[in-house]
Structure 1
Amino acid sequence: MDKKSLMPFGRGAAPSRTHDEPFTSLRREMDQLFDSFTRGWGLPTLADESVLSPRVDVVETDAGLEFTAELPGIDPKEIELDIEDDILTLRAEHKVDREEKDDKRRYHLVERRSGTYMRRFALPFAPDRDKVAAEFDKGVLKVTVPRSPDQPKTSKRIEIRPAA
C-alpha cells in the first residue's frame, strides 16, 4: 500500500502555502482528501450537484402510507408522481438561474445549476390508485397512499413444529 496516497495534502507534497483564510484552506484540503478517498466508489462528489435525493418521512397508518418530502425551491409544476407495479416514484427537476450585474463596479455574474430529485418506494400493499392524493405547500410535498379495499386484512397464525 502506498502511504503517500493516504496523506491529506495529496501525493506527499507539503501543504500549499496560500494567503487564503486558514479555515478556507483547511476546508479545501479536507474536500480534496474526501474526494480522493472515495474516488472509484461510484459516489457523487461534492462538486456533483446533479444527484439529489430529497429527505422523505414515511409513516404507516391504519388507512395506508403517508409520505412527506422536502423539496425546497421546487416549482410544483416540476414534480411528477406515479405508481406503477406497486412502486411509488417521486421525480422533480430543480433548475436555478442566477444573474447579477453591476455596471458601476463592472462585473457580470451568471450561474446555472440543475439537478433531478428522484426517490422510489416499494409499497407493501396494493394501493387504491384512485384515492392517492398529494399536496404541496412551502417546499413540502405530502402524499397519502390508501390501501385498496379489495385487499384482505386477515391474518393467519402459523404453527411452529419441533424439528424432526
Structure 2
Amino acid sequence: MTRYSEELYNFEHKLKNTFDDFLKRIGLYGDENKEESYYKDRKITCFNPKLDFHENDKEYLVYVELPGVKKEEICLDLRDGDRVLNISGEIKQDEKLEKGRAHIEERRFGYFRRSVVLSENVNLDNITAKFHDGVLKITIPKQELTKSKKVSIH
C-alpha cells in the first residue's frame, strides 16, 4: 500500500511539474517563487469559440459564436495557396470587472483563433461574411471542379 502511494505521489509530482513548465513558457504562471500563487490573478488569454461547419449543394456555411465581440474586432484571413480560412480576434474584459474580487467567472475574454480547411471546390473570390446578434455567418460558395478532358494527339 505504501509503494502505491509513493508511485502515485511521484506521478502527480511529475505531472504537476510538466504543467508548471508549460504554463511558465506561455506566461500563465503566477509568481515563480511562491507555490500558492499558482494561478492567482491570472486569466487565460485565449480560447476557442464554438463553431459549426455545414454543407449543402451550393455552399459551405460556417457559424461562429462570438457574443460580446464587435464586428471591427473580428479578422477573417484566407490564404489562397493553403486554402485555410482563419477566424481571429479578441474579446476584451470590461476594465471595471478587473478590480475587486470575482465570485463567479464563466465568460471568456482574450484572444481567439479558429481555422477551417476548405476543399478544392470552393469559390474563393465570392466568400461573404455577416455578423448579427453575436453570430458570425460565413458563406463559402462551391464551384465545379474542372473535369478532365482528353487531348487529341496530332
TM-score (norm 1): 0.57
Equivalent residue number for residue 160 of structure 1: none
Choose which of 91, 95, 98 in structure 1 pairs with 2:95.
Answer: 98
Equivalent residue number for residue 61 of structure 1: 56
Q: Does 1:4 align with 2:9?
A: yes
Instruction: Give the deviation of 1:38 after TM superposition.
Output: 7.5
Instruction: Give the deviation of 1:3 after TM superposition.
Output: 2.5
Equivalent residue number for residue 117 of structure 2: 122
3-state SS of paired residue (1:96): coil
Note the residue ranges of structure 2 that are not aligned, 5 or more in a row.
1-5, 29-38, 103-107, 149-154
Which structure has the highest helix share of the two? 2
Change (3 A) 1:76 1:110: farther
Contact 1:99 1:110 in 2 (8 A): no
> Per-residue displacement from partner, 1:87-146 (whole Å, max 9, x unpaired)?
11101111123327xxxxxxx7499x9521101111012421221111111111000111
Which structure has the highest strand share of the two? 1
3-state SS of paired residue (1:2): helix
* Residue identity opposite 1:91 in structure 2: S
Contact 2:76 2:85 in 1 (8 A): yes
CA distance in 1, matches of 2:17, 2:133: 38
Change (3 A) 1:37 1:153: farther
Q: Aligned pairs, how many?
A: 119
Q: Does 1:89 align with 2:108?
A: no
TM-score (norm 2): 0.61
CA distance in 1, matches of 2:49, 2:63: 10
Change (3 A) 1:93 1:153: farther
Aligned counterparts, 1:8-87, within 5 A: 36=16, 39=19, 48-84=43-79, 85=81, 86-87=83-84
Note the residue ranges of structure 1 that are not aligned, 5 or more in a row.
12-34, 101-107, 155-164
Q: Does 1:152 align with 2:132?
A: no
CA distance in 1, matches of 2:60, 2:122: 9
CA distance in 1, matches of 2:90, 2:132: 17
CA distance in 2, matches of 1:56, 1:3: 38
Q: How large is the RMSD of aligned CA atoms in angstroms?
A: 3.5
Q: Percent sequence identity over matched residues?
A: 27
Contact 2:46 2:109 in 1 (8 A): no
Higher RCO (C-alpha under 8 Å, 6+ residues apart): 2
Say which one has the larger Rg: 1
> Per-residue displacement from partner, 1:18-44 (whole Å, max 9, x unpaired)?
xxxxxxxxxxxxxxxxx9498269589
